[in-house]
Amino acid sequence: MSRETVEFVRRPLQIREHSRRTLDQRLAIRFPRLATAGFRAATKLPLGSRVREAAVWRAMRLAVEAYNRRDLDAVAAAYGSDLEYHPYREFVEAGLAEPVYRGPSGYKAYIEATYEVWGTEVKLEPTELIDLGDRLVLLADMPMRAQASGVSLAQTYAGVMTLRDGRVIRTDDFLDHAEALKAVGLQA
């Protein structure tokens, strides 16, 4: 797919350093169908719509903030029960992860297992979000420190999330921004 044929909106994404669970996150956890209906309505709007952009960017900002504070229930509130979570190819090839984790509980189990290696200091520092309509691409920096050795590592992160009916049904993680952009038909 060439760059000219792909419609997308690409803008920076900024998060707050310190955050707490918001009212709409609490409602999404308690009443997931209500949250899904609202996000479905927003994502049915055309790319470039200000309402769509506001809803998508806010939802992603809140999800990243929840991830950074280890609130996996708030992150998983956007996931469909049929979620397929595909961790980094490099982790799978090294035998550190399964090729796919299913459902929100599978996602949470994978992330909690990574805490054993990287501790809880892993943070996402997003740089931008790309909205392709049925997919979102999050580009971020991901500084971390190994739990056992204390070795610091500066890594990049890219997540490609596939949307259906107001829910994330698939997430593919990449350690390379260019690889993620290529996977969605955009060249870095």
Q: CATH no. for residue 29?
A: 3.10.450.50
Q: How many CA atoms lie within 13 A of 32 on its CB side?
A: 15
Mean pLDDT value across residues 81-96: 94
What stretch of H or E contains 141?
strand 135-145
Establish if 3 belongs to a structural domain.
Answer: no
Q: DSSP state, 134?
A: S
Rounded Cα distance between 99 and 84, Å, is 10
Establish if 4 belongs to a structural domain.
Answer: no
| 118 vs 36: which has the higher pLDDT | 36
CA 163 to chain centre: 11
Establish if 59 belongs to a structural domain.
Answer: yes
Residue 157 and residue 71 in contact, taking contact as beta carbons nearer than 8 Å: no
Sheet of 167-174: strands edge to edge?
9-12, 125-131, 135-145, 152-164, 167-174, 79-86, 101-102
pLDDT of residue 143: 85
Residue 67 and residue 153 in contact, taking contact as beta carbons nearer than 8 Å: no
Establish if 51 belongs to a structural domain.
Answer: yes
3-state secondary structure of 24: helix
What φ, ψ does residue 125 adopt, rounded to 5°?
-115, 90
Question: pTM score, two decimals?
Answer: 0.90
Establish if 5 belongs to a structural domain.
Answer: no
pLDDT of residue 154: 72
**Residue 3 confidence class, pLDDT cut points 50, 70, 90:** very low
Establish if 188 belongs to a structural domain.
Answer: no
Structural domain boundaries, residue 85: 10-183
pLDDT at 34 over 50: yes
Report the chain's mean pLDDT, rounded to a whole number.
90
pLDDT of residue 96: 87
| Number of domains the chain is built from | 1
Establish if 2 belongs to a structural domain.
Answer: no
